[in-house]
Amino acid sequence: MFTLAEKTTARSSFLHSWEARHKLAGITALIFSFSFVRDLRLLPLILAASALVYYLTALPPAYLFARLRLPSVFLLVPAMVLPFGSGQTVLARVGPLALKLEGSLALLLIAAKFISILTLAVSLFATTPLAGLAGAMRSLGVPSLLVEMVLFTYRYIFQLAGDLKRTGTAATLRGFKGRSLLSLKTLAYMVGTLLVRSYDQSERVFQAMTLRGYGRAAVAVSATAPCRRDRLALAGALALAAFVILVQVLVL
Amino acid sequence: MHIPDGIIPVQAALGGYVAAGGAAWLTLVKIRRKYKNPREAIPRASLLTAVFFAASLVHIPLPPTSVHLVLSGLVGVILGWFAFPAILVGLFFQAVMFQHGGLTTLGVNACLIGLPALLSGALFQLRRYFGRNRAVPNALLAFGGGFLAVAVGAFSAALLLTYTIPAHLDAAAERAAIIALSLAHLPVALLEGVFTALVVLFLLRVKPELLELEA
């Protein structure tokens, strides 16, 4: 069910070896600059840049396509509304509907930005272990309480998903089908049971962690020292981000 | 209700981050005031965050189809002020694991889902005026919390999407889009309300202290 890219983070590539803090800052800058794009002439540049970043992950294209499939469903809504509901210039008529130029271009802009930003996000998360990402977030100013919640939540997500699956299997073996609204009560009780069990477990976890010294000092997050290549890559990413924004604002 | 990357303009995304940053700061201040050592509450809040994350993957039948619940109302009811950081963390994992939502829209999504969750938590706390152990008021307030969390979030998302998508829809089309998107979420909001009430009734019988974390 869960497919966080822990398997892919163990590989070797330029993006895998890019120091986490620099990588997070560089790719986040690119992502925000790409979402700033409003002119269609910048689309080839941002698509090419995101393709280059993904190429540097050394991951197969199939991995990216699999990750794009689910969120792409969201594009269906603008794809159904914009080409027919926005603009005046009619390109073609499909029955009672008129395909309009302005709406089609708006959809193209949204789709290209969506694909390029998602490609960058996949490249970031597929090449950075969560501990490295949390350390980078902490050193970039994210409050320690939030970072600790990220790490703890990640620790428990897989276990709880397994618990929920086992509860579901047990219910199925007892004849539960879960196909009608009447099954809502059973599903609510399953979630309630999981909450009760987890609450009891959290008390035990907290007591065990307190005995081991938790709560006395902030968690130290080890970070590897960045090298010249890390800084150069960050400078390149920031330069491209600044270029995209400046071209959008000053030239186009 | 999860707005993905690239759909809304960067100004809206940055505005979402500013608003989410402010809300996170406010909730962290409240948490620090409430707990002498706020870190002692982190394992419990994180474990419950993980429960909500896992539970939101359960298919709930809504004939002729099935839906995933958001559970933001239930998060607000149980976690109170911790609901906002919990939803922020949950959305981060959804963006990382499933590319559901997005990195640029994390702030916007946290506001769309997290702020109504705080509202639900505040609504549920009204039970102190109606009797903490009485089933009917607890169920009604929980239903209201679950329903409001989704209804307010969906309506806000519809408003945001309609007014920020870079296209020139006429006023009538904008109104129609907002109404259509909001109405489409109405069955889910009702389902969330009923589901939240059922879970609260279960907890009231089995582990009432879970409903007292914010008291």
- Nearest-CB residue to A199 (from B57, B85, B207): B207
Q: Is residue B14 part of a domain?
A: yes
DSSP string covering A138-199, please?
A: HHTT--HHHHHHHHHHHHHHHHHHHHHHHHHHHHHHTT----SGGGHHHHHHHHHHHHHHHH
Q: How confident is the model at residue A147 (pLDDT cuts 50, 70, 90)?
A: confident
Domain harbouring B26, CATH code:
1.10.1760.20
Q: How confident is the model at residue A181 (pLDDT cuts 50, 70, 90)?
A: confident
- Asked if pLDDT for residue A216 goes beyond 70, the answer is no
3-state secondary structure of B102: coil
Q: Which of A96-100, A146-150, A241-245, B156-160 has the highest mean pLDDT?
A: A241-245
DSSP string covering B145-203, please?
A: HHHHHHHHHHHHHHHHHHHHSSS---HHHHHHHHHHHHHHHHHHHHHHHHHHHHHHHHH
Non-local CB neighbours of A48 within 8 Å, separated by 6+ positions: none
Answer whether B40 sits within 8 Å of A215, measured CB to CB.
yes
pLDDT tens digits, one per residue of B144-190:
999 999 999 988 888 888 777 655 666 676 677 777 777 878 888 99
Domain count, chain B: 1
Answer whether B173 sits within 8 Å of A116, measured CB to CB.
no
Q: How confident is the model at residue A1 (pLDDT cuts 50, 70, 90)?
A: very low
Residue entry with tokens 């970039």: A140
Q: Is residue B78 part of a domain?
A: yes
Per the omega criterion (within 30 degrees of 0), is the bond before B64 cis? yes
Answer whether A188 sits within 8 Å of B37, measured CB to CB.
no
Residue B71 phi, psi dihedral angles, 5° rounding: 65, 15
Q: Which amino acid is at A220?
A: A
Average pLDDT over residues A103-116: 86
User: Which structure tokens are listed for B118?
Assistant: 């705080």
- Nearest CA to CA, how far is A227 from chain B (Å)? 27
Bridge partners of B65, per DSSP, are: B62
Say what the ipTM of the complex is: 0.85
Q: Is residue B115 part of a domain?
A: yes
**In which domain, by residue range, is B96 found?**
10-211
User: Which structure tokens are listed for B30?
Assistant: 């409240």
- Asked if pLDDT for residue A2 goes beyond 50, the answer is no
> CB-based burial of residue A171 (10 Å sphere; 0-12 exposed, 13-18 middle, 19+ buried)?
middle
Predicted local confidence at residue A9, as pLDDT: 67
Determine which of A54, A199, A204, A216 to mutate to test the interface with B (most B C-beta atoms within 10 Å): A199
**Closest of A150, A188, A190 to residue B146, by C-alpha:** A188
Predicted local confidence at residue A252, as pLDDT: 62
Predicted local confidence at residue A114, as pLDDT: 85
Residue B65 phi, psi dihedral angles, 5° rounding: -130, -165
- Nearest-CB residue to B42 (from A74, A145, A164): A145
DSSP state of B68: E
Determine which of B103, B185, B205 to mutate to test the interface with A (most A C-beta atoms within 10 Å): B103
Average pLDDT over residues A35-56: 91
Q: Which amino acid is at A191?
A: V
pTM to 2 decimal places:
0.78
More confident residue, A171 or A237: A237
The answer to whether residues B57 and B117 touch, using CB atoms and an 8 Å cutoff, is no
Q: Is residue B1 part of a domain?
A: no
Give the CA dihedral B47, B129, B150, B185, nearest 10 degrees. 140
- Nearest CA to CA, how far is B15 from chain A (Å)? 12
Answer whether A110 sits within 8 Å of B6, measured CB to CB.
yes
Among A112-121, A206-215, B9-18, B69-78, the minimum mean pLDDT is found in A206-215
Predicted local confidence at residue B26, as pLDDT: 92
- Nearest CA to CA, how far is B129 from chain A (Å)? 25
Query: Could you tell me how far CA B13 lies from the centroid of its own chain?
Result: 18
**Closest of B210, B69, B208 to residue B149, by C-alpha:** B69
Kindly list the distances between the CA atom of residue B52 and the CA atoms of A19, A192, B46, B114, in Å, as whole numbers in the listed order. Answer: 32, 11, 10, 13
Residues 168-207 on A with a CB inside 8 Å of B are: 168, 178-181, 183-185, 187-196, 198-199, 201-203, 205-206
Q: How confident is the model at residue B68 (pLDDT cuts 50, 70, 90)?
A: confident
Predicted local confidence at residue A157, as pLDDT: 81
Residues 91-110 on A with a CB inside 8 Å of B are: 102-103, 106, 109-110
